[in-house]
Structure 1
């Protein structure tokens, strides 16, 4: 949003017909509601900041200054309401524990994921199933799946090179920048993913399911790949 404001409209009794949330000093790039509480949302923008909002209040309830070293391109809220993920032009994904807001207006990142080699276009927690599973896509043509539950109290950030312990799956199916992806919202099929890339001749949509490769043994996974001609 170019006017640096977040506008909400609703017929719900706890919202005004038109709510304007002011705080960002540059373009707002991403928004996400708390799945546990529709009155709370998070936003990220080109001012490098992440804001937390309660729609019953005009001022932000929390703010992360310099959340990234460049524009904050996208944000998402885990479906258990505990975590925020943000992705930036600095090629990093940062995970924040929202529970810290109940004690302080300051929120610190407990995971800093740097496996992408292009700016992050989207981050999205798995909407069905495990609240700790996160997906990301970027200008490097990859879709990565993470499990932030693997973070240990003494763990260090992933800085490339060796495969980070948080990385579940790496999808190399696209040749160009992946602009968007979506998890399936069907509870019986939570691991189906659709992703779109911006190719030279237009756009490519892929629908894929990594579950069998993640949870099978290496031998079984190899057999699955051979049976599918991969």
Structure 2
């Protein structure tokens, strides 16, 4: 089966590269960040600009993540190359800076909230991952663990959508899985198989079958599965390598919680969609060449609107694009 990827909206969002996008779990809100040092918030239904969050970071903002809970209004975290994390929130129409988190020695590459909103993970070029515990108002953050087992720059962190399980991707070509153990966080598994920098990973939205997709400088997309044995529940194995489509580094992957499809984007400008046609057998069902013209594409996310599935991409051209699949 093949499907068509149709561009339905092109939003000239930023004056420089779009590095990261985040879609709110329950509200129609989209956040984007860029090398222009600005975080922008859009209405996900109309794509009208709601707010600019600027004048806080001194260098590129590399990552953005919405907190999934809204007890005191929506809030988000931004990670910057200036080595700090900013946390923003609103309880009306005005957005305000709630906290600036310091701790990393070098550029912050990624931030991500846990599924219950209690924890924020961050990673950096300093080879470390920090786990922060937030108070109810997102104004005070306590570091509860510093994870330093990667040997190179840590590019990406992502929490499982319903479990306290964290995945990190690194310039050391590996992925690590982290779990809490006796009030500390430990590396539960190391996944080796990529032959280049691992840029991104994403969990399948399932508790029955634990699977993770990853992408790399080596132009491959791989799927890993937790396969516990009688002695160790933390055994992960390479399950599948998806069909090759990209000719250069793959920067971002997203696993749909609705259709189960996977999307990837990267340095070659392609947007590729994969579907599992049989257990562990995947086909490419759609490819969009030069999805952002001649520019690299840095990020991709699935989202659902009115029971329809869409993709959002962000690229070096400063734009975000919305695609109908």
Q: Is 1:60 aligned to residue 97 of structure 2? A: yes
Which runs of structure 2 are paired with 1:91-110 in the superposition (5 Å)?
Answer: 91-99=127-135, 102=137, 105-110=139-144
Question: What is the RMSD of the two structures over their aligned residues, measured on CA atoms?
Answer: 2.8
Q: Is 1:133 aligned to residue 165 of structure 2? A: yes
Partner of 1:119: 153
2:81 is aligned, of 35, 39, 46, to: 46
Distance 1:173 1:77 in 2: 27
Q: How many residues align?
A: 199
Which one has a larger percent helix, Structure 1 or Structure 2? 1
Which blocks of at least 5 consecutive residues in structure 1 are unaligned? 156-164, 226-230
Q: Is 1:85 aligned to residue 85 of structure 2? A: no
Distance 1:60 1:138 in 2: 30
Q: Is 1:150 aligned to residue 181 of structure 2? A: yes
Partner of 2:246: none
**Residues 120, 59 of structure 1: CA spacing in aligned structure 2 closer, same or farther, 3 A cutoff?**
same
Partner of 2:35: 2
TM norm structure 1: 0.77
Bigger RCO (CA 8 Å, 6+ sep)? 2
Partner of 1:30: 63
**Residues 111, 184 of structure 1: CA spacing in aligned structure 2 closer, same or farther, 3 A cutoff?**
same
1:132-180 deviation line (CA, Å, top 9, x unaligned): 2111010001110001x3253xx6xxxxxxxxx6111110111221111
Partner of 2:230: 217
**Residues 221, 84 of structure 1: CA spacing in aligned structure 2 closer, same or farther, 3 A cutoff?**
closer
Distance 1:221 1:112 in 2: 21
Conserved in 1, the CA contact under 8 Å of 2:189 and 2:234? Answer: no
Conserved in 1, the CA contact under 8 Å of 2:194 and 2:216? Answer: yes
Deviation at 1:187, TM superposition (A): 4.8
Deviation at 1:46, TM superposition (A): 0.7
Distance 1:45 1:11 in 2: 24
Distance 2:124 2:205 in 1: 25
Q: Is 1:71 aligned to residue 107 of structure 2? A: yes
Q: Is 1:196 aligned to residue 233 of structure 2? A: no
Deviation at 1:108, TM superposition (A): 2.5
1:97-136 deviation line (CA, Å, top 9, x unaligned): 012x64x8442211000000111111001013x2x21110
Distance 1:72 1:220 in 2: 31
**Residues 176, 45 of structure 1: CA spacing in aligned structure 2 closer, same or farther, 3 A cutoff?**
same
